Amino acid sequence: MVYIDDDQSSYIQTEQMVRDLINSYDLSYEISVDEFLSISDQEVKVRVTQTTTLIEGEDFRDNKASVVHTLRWQNDGWKFFGSEIDEVTYVEEEQMQQAFTTNIYNYITLEAPEMFDFLVSEEIDINNDGTLETVNLIGGPEESNSNMNENVEITIDFEELSIPITLLAESAPILYIYDIDQDGWMELFYETGNRVKTIEMYRFSDEGLNHHSTINGKLVELTPFEVVTDKEIYTFNEIAE
C-alpha cells in the first residue's frame, strides 16, 4: 500500500479490498496508458486500460476496464489518490460478440494441413445462443490405403452434448461453417476430392447433424442463400431441392 495516498478517506476500505483480493485470487494485471488527462506539479490524472486475468481461484470473470487514476505528490513520490472506473468489459462477452459478428458477415474455415494425422479446431457460436461451441476436424493416421483417409471425423461439442460424423478424404479436406439460410444455425460444408472436388453440405435438425446435399466443384464463396463454386452458382432453394 506504499503507493496509496494515506490521506484519502477510503484508505482503510481500499486496503481491506486489496487484502481480500490477494487472499481469494491469484490474478495477472496488464496496464496500458491511454492518455494523460491533466498534469500539474501536485496532481496527475491519467486514463488507463487494465486487463485482469485469473491465474488461480474460482468465481472470477476476466475483464478489461477503462480507469481514470488520480495521482498526487506526497512525501517525495507520486501516490494514487483516487480511481474512477469508466467502463468494464468482460472477456468472454467480448469474445462472444466477436464470434457473433463473424457468424453474420463471414464464414469460418478449418483447413487440414494434409490428408492424414491432423486436428484443427475452432470455437464458434453454432446456434446463435451466446455460447461458444467447439468444432473439431480430425484426421486419422495413414493405413493401408494412402490414396484415401477413411477416418476423418467432424465433432461439434456443445455444453452437454458432442455430435460426431465420420467422412472420407481424398485430399487434405477443408471444412467451411456458415449460416447459409440466415436462420441462426450454422451449416457445414465439407470439401475434398482429388481430381474432382465436391462439397458435402450438412444441416442441424431435431435429429442431430444430417447430410443435406452434394454440391459439385471447389468452393469459391459463401453468401446468404448462395454457394458459389468453380462450376456454377447454387442458390439455397436449388440446393434444398
pLDDT in tens, 27-81: 888 999 999 999 998 999 999 999 988 888 887 888 899 999 999 988 778 888 8
Please, which residues bridge with residue 73 across strands? 78
Confidence check: pLDDT of 138 > 50:
yes
What DSSP letter does each residue of 63-114 carry, written as one string? EEEEEEEEEEE-SSSEEEEEEEEEEEEEHHHHHHHHHHHHHHH--EEEE-SS
Confidence check: pLDDT of 192 > 90:
yes
pTM above threshold 0.75: no
DSSP code at position 142? P
Confidence check: pLDDT of 164 > 70:
yes
Confidence check: pLDDT of 101 > 70:
no
179 contacts 185 by C-beta, under 8 angstroms? yes
Percent of the chain scored above 90 by pLDDT?
Answer: 49
For cell 493401408, the residue is 144
Confidence check: pLDDT of 122 > 60:
yes
Residues 6 or more apart whose Cβ sits within 8 Å of residue 43: 70, 71, 72, 73, 81
237 contacts 225 by C-beta, under 8 angstroms? yes
165 contacts 152 by C-beta, under 8 angstroms? no
Mean of per-residue pLDDT scores for the chain: 84
Q: What would the grid cell of residue 191 be?
A: 470439401
Confidence check: pLDDT of 102 > 60:
no
Backbone angles phi, psi at 104, to 5 degrees: -75, -45
For residue 123, how far is the Cα from the chain centroid?
A: 6
pLDDT of res. 92 = 67
